[in-house]
Chains A and B, each alone.
Chain A
Amino acid sequence: MSIDERIREGLRMTNTQLPPPETTRAVDWISSGGSAPPRRGRSLAVAAAAVLVAGAALAVGQVLASRPDAPPVQQPAPLFVGSWWSTDSDGSSQTMTVREVSAGVFEMELRDDFSSPCSGPSTDTGPGLMRGGMLFVYRIETVCQDGKTPANPGTALNFKVVGPDTIRDDNGVIWSREGSSPPSPAPSRQPGASAFVGSWTSEDADGSSQTMTIREVSAGGFEMVLRDDFTGPCSGPSTDSGTGALRRGVLLVRDIETVCADGDVARGAPSLSFAHLPGTDTLRDNIAVTWSRAE
C-alpha cells in the first residue's frame, strides 16, 4: 500500500467512525423561534452539559453546543435586567428594557428615535442569553415606526458591564440605567466629514485584511473604495465601491459594486453604514467590523 492510499483510506475510515456532533438545546430552542425555554438535550453528554451551561455557554442562536468540561454557570443577570438609556453614535436617543423571561433567558426591547435602516424611529426586539459574562442578544428584529420592516435576520448585540449601572454594547454605545446619572464621558456631538475621510484598515470576520479609502467628492457627498484580500463571492481579492452621504452623524454608503480581482462583478453588500466611535479614531460598520485609521 502506498502512503497516499494509507492516508486516504485511514482518513475516510476514521471519518466514518467519528460520532456525529451533538445537537444542542440552543439549536432546538432557536429553531423553535426562541419562544419556549430551552429543552433538555437527548444524550447524556448534552444533559450533563445542560446542567453546566444553562446560560453560560449558549452563544449565537443555532450554533452553540456545550462541553462537559465547560466552566461553571455564571449567575445571570440582575446586572442587565431593567431599563436603560443611551445616546447613539448618530446622536439619537435610545431606551432599552431587558427582562428575564425564564432562568437564564432574556428578552430585549430597544427603542431608537432614529435608526439608519428606518430613517426614523424604530424598535428592536430579540432574545438574549448570557455568554462569557456578557448579555448576548441575537436574532434581533427591527420594526420601523412607519411600519417598514427591514429584512435583517442575524443581527446581534453584545452587552458588557463597564461600571456601576453602566453597560456598553459592541457598537461602543454606553448605556446607563434609568434613574442613574449620565454616563461619563458625556455623549459627544455628531461627527463631521473629517471623522470619516481618509484611509482605514480592518480585519474581516473571516480573518482577511481590508483597506478602505473614503473621500469627500462634493459637499456632503462621499466616495468609498474598499479592498478585501479575500471575499467569498470572488474566492479571492475584491474591490467594493460606492457613494455615500452623512446622515445624523452616520455615513451611509449605497449602490455598492463588488469587482473581483479577475474582473468579474459579484454581488456584495448593497449598502454599508459607518459610525464614528466617540473618543477614538475608529469606525464601526453595520456588520460589526471595526476600522482603524491607517498610519
Chain B
Amino acid sequence: MSEPVEISMTDVLPMFSRHAQRREDQFHELFAAAYPQVVRTVWFVVHDRGMAEEIAQDAFTELYRDWSRLHSFDRPDLWVRRVAIRRAQREARRQVRRVVLERATGTLRPVDDGFSLPDPDLIAAIRTLPPKQRAILVLFYLEDRPMSEVAELVGCSASTGFVQLHQARRRLAALLGEEVDSDVH
C-alpha cells in the first residue's frame, strides 16, 4: 500500500491561481484572435467603423462578464459572434429609422469612415438590404460559414436563411446589373 499523500493549502493555492490565470489567458487569446474579424463582420452590417468597434466590444464585454461560465463552452467565439451579429442587426434597424428621419428633415449626411472602398457600388447596394440580409450575406460569402451556422448566428432557421440569401442576391444583381446564374446551397 502506498503512503498517504498530504496536500497542504500552500500546495493548493498556486493551483487555484494558475487555473484562474489560464482562464484569463484564454480570454486574451480569444479576444486577440477573434476581435478584429468580429469588428469587420459587424462593419458590413452597420457600415460605421466606430459603431462596429463599439458593438464588438460590448459583445466581448458580455463574454468577459460571464467568462467563468462561458470559457468551458466548446466555441465561445461563436457565442460572442452571435451576440455581436444580433446587436448589429438591431443597430442597423435603428440606423434605417434614423436615415428615414434625416431624409425627412433634410439633415442626411453621408457616412465617411475614412478609407476607400474597392467596390463602392457593391457596398452601396448592400446598404439597401435589410440588416438580417446583410448579416447573412457577410457570414455566408465572406466567412464561408454553412447556412446552418449562419442561421444560428442571425437567429432564424436554415430554410429562412436561404430564402433571405436568395432575395439579397436578386436585389443586388438587379442593382448592380449582374446575373443570378444559379441557386446557392
B61 touches A63 (CB 8 A): yes
- The dominant DSSP class at the B interface is helix
A2 touches B83 (CB 8 A): no
A152 touches B68 (CB 8 A): yes
Interface residues on chain A, size class: 35 or more
A186 at the interface (CB under 8 A from B): no
Chain A hits for B20, CB < 8 A: 149, 151-153
CA distance A234 to B138 in the complex (A): 24
How distant is B158 from chain A, measured CB to nearest CB, in Å?
12
How distant is A268 from chain B, measured CB to nearest CB, in Å?
7
Interface residues of A in 12-64 (CB under 8 A from B): 12-15, 17-22, 31, 59-64
Interface residues of A in 71-104 (CB under 8 A from B): none
A219 at the interface (CB under 8 A from B): no
A295 at the interface (CB under 8 A from B): no
Report A1-13 CB contacts with B as 1/0, cut-off 8 Å. Answer: 1111011111111
A154 touches B19 (CB 8 A): no
B65 touches A154 (CB 8 A): yes
How distant is A51 from chain B, measured CB to nearest CB, in Å?
16
A232 touches B76 (CB 8 A): yes
A154 touches B67 (CB 8 A): yes
- Closest residue of chain A to B61, judged by CB? A60
A269 at the interface (CB under 8 A from B): yes
Chain B hits for A10, CB < 8 A: 118-119, 122-123
Report B80-93 CB contacts with A as 1/0, cut-off 8 Å. Answer: 00110010000000
Report B165-178 CB contacts with A as 1/0, cut-off 8 Å. Answer: 00001001100101
Interface residues of A in 114-141 (CB under 8 A from B): 138
Chain B hits for A154, CB < 8 A: 23-24, 27, 64-68
A232 touches B73 (CB 8 A): yes
Interface residues of B in 81-123 (CB under 8 A from A): 82-83, 86, 114-119, 122-123
How distant is B35 from chain A, measured CB to nearest CB, in Å?
7
CA distance A100 to B142 in the complex (A): 46
- Closest residue of chain B to A267, judged by CB? B72
Report B1-34 CB contacts with A as 1/0, cut-off 8 Å. Answer: 0000000010001001101100110011001000
Interface residues of A in 216-240 (CB under 8 A from B): 230-233, 235-236
CA distance A187 to B127 in the complex (A): 53
How distant is B132 from chain A, measured CB to nearest CB, in Å?
14
How distant is A245 from chain B, measured CB to nearest CB, in Å?
21
A153 touches B35 (CB 8 A): no
A198 at the interface (CB under 8 A from B): no
How distant is A206 from chain B, measured CB to nearest CB, in Å?
5
- Closest residue of chain B to A156, judged by CB? B65
A3 touches B141 (CB 8 A): no
B141 touches A31 (CB 8 A): no
B117 touches A147 (CB 8 A): no
CA distance A156 to B27 in the complex (A): 15
B53 touches A232 (CB 8 A): no
A10-B118, A14-B122, A19-B115 known; 5 new pairs, CB 8 Å cut-off, are A6-B119, A12-B142, A21-B52, A59-B57, A206-B83
Q: List 10 A-B contacts (CB under 8 A).
A: A10-B122, A21-B56, A62-B60, A148-B16, A153-B23, A153-B24, A206-B79, A232-B70, A232-B73, A269-B72
